[in-house]
Chains A and B, each alone.
Chain A
């Protein structure tokens, strides 16, 4: 079996650098398999997060050759084998150790979002076509790759003013739930800073669940903010029509 050279970040909050590891490549191998191989044979203390190994839990995010990816879904044979493969932690979050980052900020943002609140007197009947778009948002596995690439967080560090694409997806899922009865539009504008998003679509490009974050979540939410704040008439009409 051919060997491939991995350059894996080793370090912690204080700093660090990449270290080299040679790993034999097996058919169908993914980057996470290679990391496990390193753990098992060379560096038992290499810190990596994972759970499902099947792209379902969103634990194993990292930057592979500069691209934010789920390591459990990144095939080694999709990467050039003649060059070293570089594996770094997500850049937008503080490193804890090696590839493990501190993503607790995301959990704090989530707490600001009022949960599902059913309209009074609902009979819990819903048509499939009315929930299709919400089911798309609910596919999110919280890998935080979209948060990691969004320049508002990555380059401008606006963690205090901005919720990030993951949480626009979450809010969209609540706002467009056919039986939800509260509005989160004020929250979107103020606490979550939706206005800071300038629709670069970088988030959509990295989403492993192929959620159309910008087109289906962010843009419709921006329209709602515009309606609520600048067009009260339209808002009233929609309310009456039950939109």
Chain B
């Protein structure tokens, strides 16, 4: 071990302090493990803080007929049956307990008349299922978890970015990171590592995601040899802000539609009648996003290229109470009073269904000692995620990842880390300071975003995807030439150089997988293959690193258990 570096040792190292990472940390701590948590921002600022609409759990507080079976069925249907059904089952069964736990740790959800947790309607959920706090559910959740973790005594390394997983042979041994504040390097040694780093939205220009969402966890896992699953499935949320330019992409929560919001085009037509007359505005996100996109493309869009979303038929006081942050967001950033008139909305890149392949029970990846949970992991949501199913995912599988990691760590000795890996990681980080070119990370980033927006967006074709591959290859070369000046002290340009590497790897995985899947399913819409294909419905796309090449293969999905099959068959229209 090289003593040149600041080094910390833990039984379990958790990379990411959003809902998944914090829930994993709490579980590992409660099992008596020594836990370290690393995150890119300050504690409490992870993406989870921004979640608005709610957390899905079949508590049956409002609709007594709801139960885990219905939640399971909705999740599978929403995911177009490509979901890892075991994950969907565990998720539906365990979510209510995970929500109750939050309440027992101090969370205060909105209440029903009889004093229980209130639940609201959301797209694709057949019952009122989303537990919420107005439209700031994520804040309530992250604060509750954060306070619980602090009380239990975890070590948090804030503003510390991981750039590489360290290995001991075939097993994970820790991570290499830098402090954003001063640019110094730090080595974490751990018996088990949990990835909880979230998604990849920053590869697209119009996104609801923050600077943190650069796909780091997926790239770290891939480079360590883990498998990535179904990377073509990127969720475009139907309703992001479209005007003014600076806020383009900012999320307009689905809760607006959950509370009765209506979508119209510039001619005042309630166009969802054409696309999904049964579920209308509360259809699944893939359907609503394509509907808005199509309306705009066919010339029926609003002035700024979106659709109208209107909730002003509800009493103003109700809107302000149930959607306070939407009310403020539009009033302050767009000069629109949503209690008096419509919002303008359009699709925005929002969520990654694909990600690191994991085992349903333990969240273990294909690498010994490496676990993954939350948005960085794949499987639960299949081809399309239902709103509210992410927050519940974080809790259910965050907990399971924490448990899985502790179980693994208990049986292991402290791994060894050889210094060559560390030196390599350090060299890669320092290279942009040593080059003297005019290649600037911000311009490479905007070029990447243009490629992904135009060629790997809501609708895809073979031709576009092939040009995207060519574009990405050119960017990979440019990334090798990136140059940066200034010091190592809190230098965002330098940080972006590292983030770009992750974004490019993940963008390539998305594009390759999208090229391979010759059908349209959920969030993946191919103009050249517009229909569902039954054979593809039983195939997962698996990406992995072979030598220095990205490899893609198809693997059959696991056969659904007969009794779960019966549950799905229960519902008319299943299979669609």
Interface residues of A (CB under 8 A from B): 12, 26-30, 33, 39-41, 44-59, 73, 75, 96-98, 100, 103, 107, 110-111, 114-116, 118, 124-128, 131, 134-135, 138-139, 141-142, 174, 177, 180
Which residue among A47, A48, A50, A57 has the maximum number of chain B CB atoms within 10 Å of its CB? A57
B243 near A28 (CB under 8 angstroms)?
yes
Q: Give Cα A16 to B325, complex, Å.
A: 37
A47 near B491 (CB under 8 angstroms)?
yes
Q: Give Cα A30 to B333, complex, Å.
A: 8
**Could you write out 26 A-B pairs with CB less than 8 Å apart?**
A26-B244, A28-B243, A28-B244, A28-B334, A29-B245, A30-B333, A44-B485, A45-B485, A45-B492, A47-B489, A51-B46, A51-B211, A52-B50, A54-B325, A55-B332, A57-B50, A96-B181, A111-B150, A115-B105, A135-B108, A135-B133, A138-B139, A139-B136, A139-B139, A141-B49, A177-B106
B492 to chain A, nearest CB (A): 6
Q: Please report which residues of chain B, range 92-137, place their CB below 8 angstroms from some CB of chain A when the two chains form the complex.
A: 100, 103-106, 108, 110-111, 114-116, 133-134, 136
Q: Give Cα A124 to B59, complex, Å.
A: 14
Q: Give Cα A138 to B41, complex, Å.
A: 21
B116 near A125 (CB under 8 angstroms)?
yes
CB-CB under 8 A for A73 and B332, given A57-B50, A138-B108:
yes
A56 near B325 (CB under 8 angstroms)?
yes
Pairs A-B, 7 closest by C-beta atoms: A28-B244, A44-B493, A116-B106, A45-B486, A125-B115, A47-B490, A97-B490
Which residue among B105, B133, B148, B246 has the maximum number of chain A CB atoms within 10 Å of its CB? B246
B246 near A116 (CB under 8 angstroms)?
no
Q: Give Cα A45 to B490, complex, Å.
A: 7
Question: Does B44 make an interface contact (CB < 8 A)?
Answer: yes
A96 near B490 (CB under 8 angstroms)?
yes
Chain A residues within an 8 Å CB radius of B111? 126-128, 131
The one of A100, A111, A141 in contact with B490, judged by C-beta atoms closer than 8 angstroms, is A100
Q: Give Cα A53 to B136, complex, Å.
A: 15
Question: Does B318 make an interface contact (CB < 8 A)?
Answer: no
Question: CB-nearest residue of chain B relative to A46?
Answer: B492
A53 near B250 (CB under 8 angstroms)?
yes
Q: Give Cα A97 to B487, complex, Å.
A: 11
CB-CB under 8 A for A50 and B211, given A59-B41, A125-B115:
yes
Q: Give Cα A107 to B181, complex, Å.
A: 17
B42 near A115 (CB under 8 angstroms)?
no
Question: Does B393 make an interface contact (CB < 8 A)?
Answer: no
Question: Does B5 make an interface contact (CB < 8 A)?
Answer: no
Chain B residues within an 8 Å CB radius of A111? 150
Q: Given contacts A44-B484, A50-B210, A50-B211, list 11 more A-B pairs with CB under 8 A.
A: A28-B243, A28-B333, A28-B334, A41-B442, A45-B492, A51-B46, A56-B49, A59-B45, A73-B332, A116-B105, A138-B139
Q: Please report which residues of chain B, range 169-193, place their CB below 8 angstroms from some CB of chain A when the two chains form the complex.
A: 181
B242 to chain A, nearest CB (A): 11
Q: Give Cα A30 to B245, complex, Å.
A: 10
Question: Does B232 make an interface contact (CB < 8 A)?
Answer: no
Chain B residues within an 8 Å CB radius of A30? 246, 333
A186 to chain B, nearest CB (A): 18
Q: Please report which residues of chain B, range 456-502, place their CB below 8 angstroms from some CB of chain A when the two chains form the complex.
A: 484-487, 489-494, 496
Main secondary structure of the interface of A (DSSP, over half): loop
A77 to chain B, nearest CB (A): 10
Q: Please report which residues of chain B, range 400-436, place their CB below 8 angstroms from some CB of chain A when the two chains form the complex.
A: none
Chain A residues within an 8 Å CB radius of B216? none
Question: Does B440 make an interface contact (CB < 8 A)?
Answer: yes
B573 to chain A, nearest CB (A): 37
Chain A residues within an 8 Å CB radius of B106? 115-116, 174, 177, 180
A131 near B49 (CB under 8 angstroms)?
no
Q: Give Cα A51 to B44, complex, Å.
A: 11
Instruction: Mark interface residues in B13-48 (1 if CB within 8 Å of A CB, else 0).
Output: 000000000000000000000000000011111110
Question: Does B212 make an interface contact (CB < 8 A)?
Answer: yes
Chain A residues within an 8 Å CB radius of B441? 44
A114 to chain B, nearest CB (A): 8
Question: CB-nearest residue of chain A relative to B47?
Answer: A51
Question: CB-nearest residue of chain B relative to A32?
Answer: B246
Question: CB-nearest residue of chain A relative to B43?
Answer: A107
A126 near B115 (CB under 8 angstroms)?
yes
Question: Does B247 make an interface contact (CB < 8 A)?
Answer: yes
Instruction: Mark interface residues in B44-77 (1 if CB within 8 Å of A CB, else 0).
Output: 1111011000000000000000000000000000
Q: Give Cα A141 to B142, complex, Å.
A: 11
The one of A39, A58, A116 in contact with B492, judged by C-beta atoms closer than 8 angstroms, is A39
Question: Does B140 make an interface contact (CB < 8 A)?
Answer: yes
Question: CB-nearest residue of chain B relative to A111?
Answer: B150
B565 to chain A, nearest CB (A): 36
Which residue among A47, A56, A110 has the maximum number of chain B CB atoms within 10 Å of its CB? A56
Chain A residues within an 8 Å CB radius of B150? 110-111, 115
The one of B45, B151, B211, B251 in contact with A115, judged by C-beta atoms closer than 8 angstroms, is B151
Chain A residues within an 8 Å CB radius of B250? 53-54
Q: Give Cα A148 to B304, complex, Å.
A: 39
Question: Does B86 make an interface contact (CB < 8 A)?
Answer: no
Question: Does B266 make an interface contact (CB < 8 A)?
Answer: no
B351 to chain A, nearest CB (A): 15
Q: Give Cα A98 to B487, complex, Å.
A: 13
Chain B residues within an 8 Å CB radius of A177? 106, 108
CB-CB under 8 A for A54 and B50, given A12-B489, A26-B244, A125-B114:
yes
B246 near A45 (CB under 8 angstroms)?
no
Q: Give Cα A86 to B138, complex, Å.
A: 33
Q: Give Cα A203 to B245, complex, Å.
A: 32
CB-CB under 8 A for A26 and B245, given A56-B325, A75-B332:
yes
Q: Give Cα A170 to B44, complex, Å.
A: 14
Chain B residues within an 8 Å CB radius of A58? 45
Question: Does B329 make an interface contact (CB < 8 A)?
Answer: yes
Chain B residues within an 8 Å CB radius of A180? 106
Question: Does B147 make an interface contact (CB < 8 A)?
Answer: yes
A24 to chain B, nearest CB (A): 12
Q: Give Cα A56 to B47, complex, Å.
A: 10
Q: Please report which residues of chain B, range 237-271, place their CB below 8 angstroms from some CB of chain A when the two chains form the complex.
A: 243-247, 250-251
Chain B residues within an 8 Å CB radius of A100? 181, 490
The one of A103, A131, A138 in contact with B143, judged by C-beta atoms closer than 8 angstroms, is A138
B49 near A52 (CB under 8 angstroms)?
yes
A56 near B136 (CB under 8 angstroms)?
yes
Question: CB-nearest residue of chain B relative to A134?
Answer: B108
